[in-house]
Structure 1
């Protein structure tokens, strides 16, 4: 005969709750230790539980019986706290998933506070990143008022450091706060607004320092009565920088597993088509090799600090199977997937603009692209996605540009490109869109308001341009870079792009090249064909300060050369892409250490 169910009574906030003892033991490490160990509670029938919200515990009991129960947004934080305290691990995971699904800028501050106190990462880091990135949107709403002063001060950064800063005095505390702002870029209007902030307006030392910063920014003379200490602190503040977004390179790779069969041929010949593009022709009578694979593609990020790859997310088969000529680009905390044609020539175009939210880990269809195309150039500038050139319906080359405005949810009409040439790369520099035609030696800058193109003189000799070959383009705050068989560093001076330096690159033979910049590091993906007609993929890192190069990997599509990450194999294929996206590091990268 089966044993009868043993019930115990838990007293929570003065209310008795009758519970199935075995249910608690099987689902909670906390109660398992309590009832199976040598604690006095193991033989008690009535147990008082302190520090747990009554409603939250009842919701936990509901979830133990029905995992599909939907937790109200107003209760989710208390349920998460109770699940963590009582070690209901499955319930904690349900809460974290629900919080990810509902995370928006308006609730990111509260999620940050809750998860930081509970030491839940990376959920805490995602909420922190969203709160900081979307702060211009948050501070204009009432969401910041939802946090009391006690709640704000309970966040771990202040909690851990408050003992250190309590003895600093108000002036040093305010200097700590101001050191998180790029003071050198602040306008007179910005600093005047700071001067009327509460606590700043009554602090004469800070007011004097801000006045000096404002004068130095405007190259004005300083009053004769300025103190040396205030001048020193003002100069230090002007060296402070804004908190940086952690951006890392990402690769789209195929993954090997138990699903499906990957077929390939052993013999092929390489030819050049009418456009000078490399093409491989396979011998249909050659031996066919078969290897298992997952039809889904996976995005891996590369952490250059620890020299390690890790899986970020998966792109399902239904989105990119047989899709050619598409793009992956970052926008804020999302990765955009758009463009391309399914089975080239079939006329089946991908018109969806998809966005993968790296916070909520979900795909959303943002919009529908009005003009289909593949193998195009694209870039994000401010809150607009620009799409240029490429091939459209009936394989007609496109000599136009259009853009999508994320704020207004509207597409522009088509505007003409400056020339009909297909061979160009796009980049942004100081808030403007540039097109670079190396073969023609021409550069153009786009005027969105007037739908016109301004011409920039490319002061580079034809001999140098001819030696570049197939190339990639990227920029930083000061320079343009063109990377091909050589690396050109260019400076914009009086409407002229002049050569700052020329550096030889190690890899000279390749078919395709793509580069992305992450701070002072440039990551490049080369695609080429070896003597056995295998596609070869080389992933390289270049330090722009030291020009030191490191080859991260050199691989073919052969599974024996695949990357092994947590037991799964990843390898490059014809769909492999290089792009950047946000990365939530384990360290707090948002606090300035200048002062």
Structure 2
């Protein structure tokens, strides 16, 4: 074969072909003329030297192609075996997807060069689902496979798949199964499921306490719930729960009554329930510690002068549980000079909804309101139903559990526009206006345990609309106004145990019709005029 060139031929057999003719070669750049388009672009905006391109679909496309290669057994180099089933895979894909397979194939284990790897403890169907998930990122979780899938994903160290199973189980949580889910979460070492299950058990303890699973709890597990400040249950129900747990296996559990009883916050139990039901329970009576605690509480409640002993103080000062069933009650009032309302409304913080309560038996103007142990007391007031308005001594009670109104022992003296405050199981009615609409300095005390009223020593100065709060055996009255509506700049303090008053004049106090509240031993006065 010969190659043809202008004015030049040679045979490929020639060893020394003649030299090529000398030709002047121009540089390529000199032969390229500037493109007008690029010239215009250069003039319109700065020149860009680098352009970073990202294909968002590349990773999913690559995964799709790898799965097709696997399905067609192309370039697969290992077989995962289970239940006589062989699943072809790529070592590099498995090693990239899990620390388990990284260690197996990259750290000189015997499986590194084995053609077949036998995975014990995993069924072939679950293994197939996991391999499909590795290559596609998709899996269907059902109640039938979630547990073996969780165990396999834990063993093979697929963390996100494990947490996906946990999220699925969290959606199935209910008061009936949350305790069994807790046990399952502990076995699987799944903290996210354990936390959610415990949260539901605490928030729905009223329902959980009636389940059979509760009786299967260990002593330490039950103690953990009963000492939780966020437990959503009344203290009466806490006591009934520990009784049910003991009665489930009385022979081995009755010795735990003393430890469990100390978890009941006796201060927030209605005295009638405490002394008539709890104190007479055979299990409680069989424990010396329990009877001593109840006797100490009895002395503390019946005698205000009795101070809390060091042995009882840890139980007595324990705060009320942050129950999710706290409610706000709205009673009476008037709008745009209309008639005083008889309506009562309750706002449930848990559901964030208002609901109607039974109406007041009659219209009352400027009565006072106190709540003790889920019982709302409406004291005195000016009756608005009759032709002639009467200052009332009547005390109405509304049970927030049964939604029923009743009357209890009336006050000693009729009052309206007065202040009321509770301390332990006592209610104190302070000042107010009498039948002649004169300002009163009287103090009346109601014992809710014995349904009895008694007169206490009067206050130093009669005031209307002060801010009132009770704390640490004392009632504090801040400011207020006299009968001529002049502000009273003083603080009056009543010592409950000693039945005596003290007072202090101060220019810093000037509040009328301002509510007061005690939080963490601090008194807060809000608004007013």
* TM-score, scaled to structure 2: 0.45
Relative to total residues, which structure has the larger strand share, 1 or 2?
Answer: 1
Q: Which has the higher contact order (CA 8 A, sep 6+)?
A: 1
Over alpha carbons, which structure has the higher Rg? 2
